Amino acid sequence: MLQKIKKYFNAKIVKIYDNTRQHKNQNQKKHLTIVIISDVFIKQNILNRHQDVYNLLSKEMHTTIHALSIHTYTINEWKKYYIKNIKNTNCHQF
């Protein structure tokens, strides 16, 4: 899935976090958080970005993914977000 996302979005960074163990009602499908940094998103609003991710992962959504949290950024958006929210804290580093 990682390579599929990287290739499709020509992504600079793709991170996939498996949060399945954090949920009480665990089933065999996964709870995932996906972070994608790509300039493909420059002229897209958040809805279109998320639709593109869901379309790309439609097979996985029917077979292996139960819940998906999507975070999409252009490279410039990521730099601003990173500096503001992550770099100066002890938060999880991407």
**What pLDDT was estimated at residue 86?**
62
Report CA torsion sign: 43, 37, 92, 68. Answer: positive
Residue 66 lies in a domain: yes
The whole domain housing 67 covers 2-87
Residue 67 lies in a domain: yes
Residue 93 lies in a domain: no
Residue 92 lies in a domain: no
Residue 28 lies in a domain: yes
The tens digit of pLDDT for each residue in 13-68 reads 999 999 887 766 656 788 999 999 999 999 999 999 999 999 999 999 999 998 99
Q: Annotate 26-38 with DSSP letters as a single string.
A: --SSEEEEEEEE-
CATH at 57? 3.30.300.90
The tens digit of pLDDT for each residue in 60-90 reads 999 999 899 999 999 999 998 777 776 554 5
- Tally of structural domains, the chain: 1
Residue 53 lies in a domain: yes
Residue 21 lies in a domain: yes
